[in-house]
Amino acid sequence: MAHIVLDEHGNPDAAQVAQFGAMYVWSVMAVEDTHVEPLSGGLSNKLFLVTHKNPTPGEPHNCVMRVKIGYSGAMRNTTWEPVISALLGAAGIGPQIIAFFDNGSFEEFIEGSTLKYEQLSDAALRGGIAQALWKFHTGAVLPIRKQPKLFEDMRSMVADSQKVSVADDRGPQLQRLLAIDFLAEITWLESYLLRVPHKLVVCHNDYQEGNIIQSPTGLRIIDFEYVNYSFREFDIGNFFCEMSLLNSYNKPPYFVLDRAKYPSLEEREEFIRAYIGPDASDGDVTVLAESARKFSLASHMIWSL
């Protein structure tokens, strides 16, 4: 089977990477010409920059190797994720897919760096972030289910939480959480939000600084494990929440909430105006900004689950 194997530290063997590189990306790749550098990692995949020190002319010097590490949550579109990634890459929205292997892929390396949390509050950059999201929402038609599964995913996550075994010292905390009737809360939330003006589009569902690359050609979006058809108001409202949430904190609970960073009404409307474009009317901006604010309730709910 064509699987990349990671050691106990989460790193691949250079010899196997060279073998896969020669199999999928380059015409020839010796282990001495192979350099592997960890880029990032999360619950569902690890990313590595693979560099060929002496490629054949016309072949790339480097690419990104994505290795799946087995996590499969309710929000993840595991069946269609490879197809989604390939189509978004072909549309110029995400990285080009070079090849798939059994537990991952080789992808175009996009020069640049992911945004920093502080940059989300940069007024000069925020318009570009809004325009990149609009392009994502309108730039591709995907051959997947067109009905939203946001509330379905919430209910699946509640069901999964009831199967969790927790150490005794965390039991009281868990019991307080389980005492909440989340299913009733979700039912109310669904009824409320479906009465709010909304539009179904291809949503990223995790639009935050770590998934936006600032490249020489502009902002590029990466990581499509949560992509599906959903409410654009959720994607925008979720981003507004992300502006107040530092995701890269290195101590439990591994994030820091700064409510003062949540965008003001003026900032939200500026974002919406950039998102819609030059033809945006004041009425359109007001309605979408308010709808996104209300859909941020769904962001709070699903990420807390």
Cα–Cα distance measured from residue 20 to residue 28, given in angstroms and rounded to the nearest whole number: 10
Distance CA 254, CA 217 (A): 32
Which structure tokens are listed for 18? 């060279």
**pLDDT reported for residue 251:** 82
Mean pLDDT for the stretch of residues 26-50: 88
Give the per-residue pLDDT at 163: 79
Model confidence at 77, pLDDT cuts 50, 70, 90, reads low
At 181-216, the pLDDT tens digits run 999 999 999 999 999 999 999 999 999 998 999 999
Which residues are within 8 A (CB) of 92 and not within 5 positions of it... i.e. 6 or more apart? 139
pLDDT of 28? 96
- Which of 258, 239, 223, 286 minimizes the C-alpha distance to 68? 223
DSSP-assigned beta bridge partners for residue 6:
12
pLDDT score of 166 more than 70? no
The whole-model pTM stands at 0.89
Of 255, 215, 239, the closest CA to residue 293 belongs to 239
Residue 160: pLDDT band with limits 50, 70, 90: confident
Q: Which among 48, 60, 53, 63 has a CA at the least distance from the CA of 30?
A: 53
pLDDT tens digit sequence for 210-231: 899 999 999 999 989 899 999 9
pLDDT at residue 230 in the model: 97
Q: 115-119: which pairs have CB atoms within 8 A and are 24 or more residues apart?
A: 115/209, 115/210, 115/212, 115/213, 115/214, 116/209, 117/209, 117/246, 117/247, 117/248, 119/209, 119/214
Per-residue pLDDT reduced to its tens digit, 241-298: 999 988 877 888 778 888 999 999 999 999 999 999 999 999 999 999 999 999 999 9
Find the mean pLDDT for residues 80-92: 89
Alpha helix ranges (H) inside the chain: 14-24, 81-90, 123-138, 150-161, 171-178, 182-193, 232-242, 265-276, 282-304
Asked if the model's pLDDT at residue 1 lies above 60, the reply is no
Q: Greater confidence, 104 or 169?
A: 104
Mean pLDDT of 138-148: 91
Q: What are the distances in angstroms from CA 254 to CA 77, 168, 249?
A: 24, 22, 5
Report the DSSP beta bridge partners of residue 246: 256
